[in-house]
Structure 1
Amino acid sequence: MELTHRFVTTHGIRIHVAEQGEGESVIFCHGFPHTWYIWHRQLPAVAAAGYRAIAPDLRGYGQTEVPAELEAYTNRAVCEDLLGLLDDLGAEQAVFVGLDFGAALVWELALRAPERVRGIIVLNNPFAPRPPRAPSQLWAKAAARHFLHLDYFQAPGVADAELGARPREFLARVYHALSADYHYLDTWRFPAAGNGYLDVLPTAPALPWRWLGEDELETLAQDFERTGFTGGLNWYRSLDRNWELTADYAGAKVTVPAYFLYGDRDPDMEGFSGRDPLTTMREHVPDLREVTEIANAGHLVQLERAEEVNRLITGYLRHLVAHPSGIPA
């Protein structure tokens, strides 16, 4: 049951992986600005339930390599990383858990390689069909009215320098802003002109918080102090390219078994997922088995409400894979 770390080389990239437990594979995919550690409360719970819990640093993050070229950060490229990780594990399939960019990644993996996906568990970022226009066009229109990080992050080097100069402060402020303790969309009160991200984010209260300890933030900050944020920001700069590369999936439905949970104060659900995201998701995910709203939780729901999220995830797993004893769930 000990947490272990190792490296996997696949498709020309060296990936750091944290894992715990034995049994059927459950792979956790993080977002921005995170590392594998954002799942550190889930790995022991899933391992204790009888599964092999695996959390990679996705490319550009943590101890995984940070490619220079922008094309390396498309979902298509990272899907190949996940399939290579499956091959390394000797597993035909796994359950994939995703949050933020990790959510978009596992939704796309389920479209690209459904035969390798036993099921998906998604936090806060519902499936939405491919939009008719490139995403950056929509962001630029919004940024004409107010600050929008999606648009601000597009210029190479700008956010990289701002956030990289104050990594610990940025992490504290953005995690607080995204939580149930703040209303993230209040950042839209600021104009885009003349403001960086730190100018619009609230000042974070002193740690510890009710859901995050000072040692946890330090663990996350240490990686970004070493690597900076360019790798993670390149995921944003690849979103138009993702749109181009998914032309063949326009209108496609996700057919693998899926579970969805979200915080009732999650800003993605409120401001970034369309007018009726749950109805849209149900229309495009025919085997969506359960949708659960978690009270008093924001974007980092797996930290803000760790016990409840762990109970839900392990419950979903019992329905997706055989019980560790070999008896079907």
Structure 2
Amino acid sequence: MAISTSLGRAHEVDLPGGRIRYYDSGEGAPIVFVHGLLVNADLWRKVVPGLVAAGYRCVAPEWPLGSHEIPVPTADLTPTGVADLIAAFLERLDLRDVTLVANDTGGAITQVLLARNRSRVGRVVLASVDSYESFLPGPLKGLPWIARIPGSVRATIEPMRIRALQRLPIGFGWVAKRPIPPDIADSYLLPSRNSAAIRKDLRRLLKTLKSRYTLDAAKHFGKIDIPVLVAWASEDKFFPVSFAERLAKDFPKATLTLIDDSYTFLPEDQPELLTSAILEFTRLHATP
């Protein structure tokens, strides 16, 4: 399965519980990306080139969130387990003063990481993310219960073979305002459709995605004194702007930027505006 060449060279690294593939491009201060559920590093394919051109090193891992190609059967796939996996990744690559850029489910996991181990994180961009009581958001809250039924994951994913269904709310219709190119949709959906091992990973993950993790992480926000950019789609169908305002208020060093003409997948719908917001934020809060 092809991954966009704009992400850079592919590498693999062994972490506790399994191996992770990641894409590395550019030189300079590191930016590490955290995608969400049922997407992979391709989510960032239109953001990375602009950041690399501006002098940053961009590292885009394939986190085990259902669109990964390397199974991780012994990994802890709870939100805390995946947060610890991110921390282990930063340590393994010896990345310091990192800018984390997270979207969707990846934002919830990043909040858990900030509450547990932010020693290598210098600043964070939360770009339309799950938070507080909205993990998962309302229309998807039943997924953890559905995932408890044997065979349910395959039954849920299989209809996405039909391109027209991908534009419905059960597909990408409520997260991407514009149609996702077929090759990118395949990049997101084929791993779980083609691999029983990936579906098993996905099922283990889905069963744990509950708001108690984000609500617990939120208790620590007042102590998190690193700069946070809350970049939010003003038309987001899953995450109301009120949640963005709440995050911006609860983090001591947060700023809020609204991005128009986009749904949750800001890197898909408005990559140029998101890239500009990231660049402005990182330059404003660069380490001396």
Shorter-normalised TM range: 0.7 to 0.9
User: Partner residue of 1:203?
Assistant: none
* 1:17-46 CA distance string (max 9 Å, x none): 112111221110111121111111112222
- State how far apart, in whole Å, the 2-side matches of 1:305 and 1:20 are: 21
Aligned length: 273
Structure 2 residue ranges without an equivalent (≥5): 1-5
Aligned with residue 70 of structure 2, among 48, 64, 67 = 64
SS at 1:32's partner residue? coil
Aligned with residue 277 of structure 1, among 222, 239, 243 = 243
User: Partner residue of 1:162?
Assistant: 155
Residue 179 (str. 1) matches residue 176 (str. 2): yes
Shift in CA distance, 279/264, structure 1 to aligned 2, threshold 3 Å: closer
Do 1:99 and 1:124's aligned partners in 2 also have CA atoms closer than 8 Å?
Answer: yes
User: Partner residue of 2:233?
Assistant: 263
- State how far apart, in whole Å, the 2-side matches of 1:37 and 1:249 are: 29
- State how far apart, in whole Å, the 2-side matches of 1:84 and 1:107 are: 16
Measured after TM superposition, the shift of residue 67 of structure 1 is 2.3
Of all paired residues, the percent bearing the same amino acid is 17
Measured after TM superposition, the shift of residue 74 of structure 1 is 1.5
- State how far apart, in whole Å, the 2-side matches of 1:247 and 1:66 are: 26
- State how far apart, in whole Å, the 2-side matches of 1:295 and 1:2 are: 25
User: Partner residue of 1:21?
Assistant: 26
Alignment of 1:78-93 (within 5 A): 78-93=82-97
Do 1:11 and 1:80's aligned partners in 2 also have CA atoms closer than 8 Å?
Answer: no
In structure 1, what residue type is equivalent to 2:92?
Answer: D
Measured after TM superposition, the shift of residue 58 of structure 1 is 0.9
Measured after TM superposition, the shift of residue 153 of structure 1 is 4.0
- State how far apart, in whole Å, the 1-side matches of 2:217 and 2:48 are: 35
* 1:155-182 CA distance string (max 9 Å, x none): 323540223323433645421233336x
* 1:174-197 CA distance string (max 9 Å, x none): 21233336xxxxxxxxxxxxxxxx
Residue 243 (str. 1) matches residue 243 (str. 2): no
User: Partner residue of 2:140?
Assistant: 149
Residue 9 (str. 1) matches residue 6 (str. 2): no
- State how far apart, in whole Å, the 1-side matches of 2:213 and 2:231 are: 28
Shift in CA distance, 102/264, structure 1 to aligned 2, threshold 3 Å: same
* 1:194-232 CA distance string (max 9 Å, x none): xxxxxxxxxxxxxxx4xx323322333333332354433
Shift in CA distance, 19/172, structure 1 to aligned 2, threshold 3 Å: farther
- State how far apart, in whole Å, the 1-side matches of 2:182 and 2:91 are: 37
Structure 1 residue ranges without an equivalent (≥5): 143-147, 182-208, 323-327
Shift in CA distance, 318/159, structure 1 to aligned 2, threshold 3 Å: farther
**TM norm structure 2:** 0.82
- State how far apart, in whole Å, the 2-side matches of 1:266 and 1:2 are: 26
Measured after TM superposition, the shift of residue 16 of structure 1 is 0.9
- State how far apart, in whole Å, the 1-side matches of 2:219 and 2:102 are: 21
- State how far apart, in whole Å, the 1-side matches of 2:14 and 2:265 are: 29
- State how far apart, in whole Å, the 2-side matches of 1:317 and 1:41 are: 18
- State how far apart, in whole Å, the 2-side matches of 1:9 and 1:251 are: 30
Greater Rg by CA? 1
Residue 218 (str. 1) matches residue 186 (str. 2): yes
- State how far apart, in whole Å, the 1-side matches of 2:45 and 2:19 are: 21
Residue 105 (str. 1) matches residue 109 (str. 2): yes
User: Partner residue of 1:287?
Assistant: 253
Shift in CA distance, 47/64, structure 1 to aligned 2, threshold 3 Å: farther
Alignment of 1:180-199 (within 5 A): 180=177
List structure 1 segments (4+ residues) > 6 angstroms apart after TM superposition: none
In structure 2, what residue type is equivalent to 1:213?
Answer: P
Shift in CA distance, 93/224, structure 1 to aligned 2, threshold 3 Å: same
Shift in CA distance, 312/220, structure 1 to aligned 2, threshold 3 Å: same
- State how far apart, in whole Å, the 2-side matches of 1:287 and 1:108 are: 17
SS at 1:76's partner residue? helix
User: Partner residue of 2:38?
Assistant: 33
